[in-house]
Amino acid sequence: MRRHTKDYLLVMIFSVFVVFSFIFDFEIGVGIFENFYSFFLTMIKFIPAVFLLIGLFDVWVEKELIEKHLGEDSGFMAYLWALILASTTVGGLYVAFPLAAAIYKKGASPRIIFTYLGAAAVCRIPMTLFEASYVGVKFTVLRWVISIPLIIFSSILLEKLISGEMEKLAAAE
């Protein structure tokens, strides 16, 4: 199979599935398409603004500032900065992943990137307020008290695992 065709195989299969779902009135397939279409419209409205803001971040924020506060020698305060940045991230992981790539490119250490991504998935302020109103403040505080140390611990562990693998790759070359 040619590489070009192989790259789009999943898109072609999905398209054929959707067409047959509409032809044969397959409700699950039609529902899948409707969910996909709704998600696609949301992404089309959302993602351009995200990339514009990340582009501005890339231009306006100096590398030295990121290295100082989020780099290898940043210390414990870097975790606090990562948690603050993650808690104010609007848009969930759609925004968090590109922003993580931008701050990594500017010199943030992997453990801080992992902390930011974990916290962006767990500790966003809008999500926390919503959660507290439905399941209670006690539960929300307990979840944060348990989640944040686990996020930090796992980010340190992931950095150690990755650095070990990177050393092995460098030695193999």
Please give the model's pTM, rounded to 2 decimal places.
0.77
CA–CA separation, 20 and 30 (whole Å): 9
DSSP 71: S
Percentage of the chain lying above the pLDDT 70 cut: 94
Report the pLDDT value the prediction gives residue 7, as an integer from 0 to 100.
76
CA–CA separation, 111 and 33 (whole Å): 38
Q: What are phi and psi of 54, to 5 degrees?
A: -70, -35
Closest CA to 110 of 63, 166, 50, 43: 166
Determine whether 33 is exposed, middle or buried from the number of CB atoms within 10 Å of its CB (0-12, 13-18, 19+).
middle
Domain boundaries, the chain: 1-53, 61-172
Token pair of 153, please?
């611990």
CA–CA separation, 167 and 13 (whole Å): 40
Is 158 within 8 Å of 121 (Cβ atoms)?
A: no
pLDDT tens, residue by residue, 81-136: 999 999 988 877 888 999 999 999 999 999 999 999 999 999 888 888 999 999 99
Residue 141 reports pLDDT greater than 70: yes
